[in-house]
Amino acid sequence: MINLNKGIRVSVRKGVVDMLPLSLAVLPWGILFGSIAVQRGFSWLEAQMFSAIIFGGAVQIVTVELIADNASLVTVLFTAFVISSRHFLYGLSLREKLSPQPLRWRLGLGFLLTDELFALSGHRRAYQGKLRLIYGLAAGGSFYLAWNLWTFIGIVAGASLPDLTDLGLDFAIAATFIALVVPEIKTLATLAAVITAAIFSLVFSLWELELGLVFAALLAMAAGFTVQQLRRPA
């Protein structure tokens, strides 16, 4: 029992420490969302509930902007669905690891499964055994608390400071994803997908194509799959 309790403490501490750099990396992003929400007319409680319930930086910012611009409900829901659809792929990727686990673990880790937690889930033995499940829960839970704290700071700042988007805090969004993606470029297929996504997202942005990011992502997946098939032994 003593060894088990010690193992739990070690797993919790390691999960929090391993997630800490990513929790700090999204500080500007969380502050940006909180400030945008209150400056677009949402109450502090509504802004905080966005982070507490939705718990997704990109979709929160886009949704707040769409609602503030009086977009239709269909537009808001469809856009949120498209932006969040990558989590479906995350779930499929981790299905074999998590499907044998009890429902309470799957629900908890499913809610906490952000880009950042997925980045820590690449180990072949991830989520195998109670201590590794606790590690994942601690990592995801600490990130959840940090995100809500940064949101609160942004809410307070947004109520007393000018528009924080003028400070360039939105660059934190791009910087965070770059930090997550670069270490995962380990194969030629992945490199092809990343380069394709970067080029076409820029091109579609210059063309002001509304679903440009979606099309860029689809082209990137096609490029990665094609390269992988070409390099497969006959």
pLDDT value at 51 more than 60: yes
pLDDT at 145: 96
pLDDT at 45: 93
Q: What angle do CA 222, 223, 226 make, to 5 degrees?
A: 85
pTM of the predicted model, to two decimals? 0.76
Evaluate the CA torsion angle 177, 183, 184, 185 in order and state its sign.
positive
Residues 163-178: what's their mean pLDDT? 64
State the burial class of residue 37 (Cβ atoms within 10 Å of its Cβ: 0-12, 13-18, 19+). buried
Residues 74-99: what's their mean pLDDT? 83
pLDDT value at 163 more than 60: yes
pLDDT value at 160 more than 60: yes
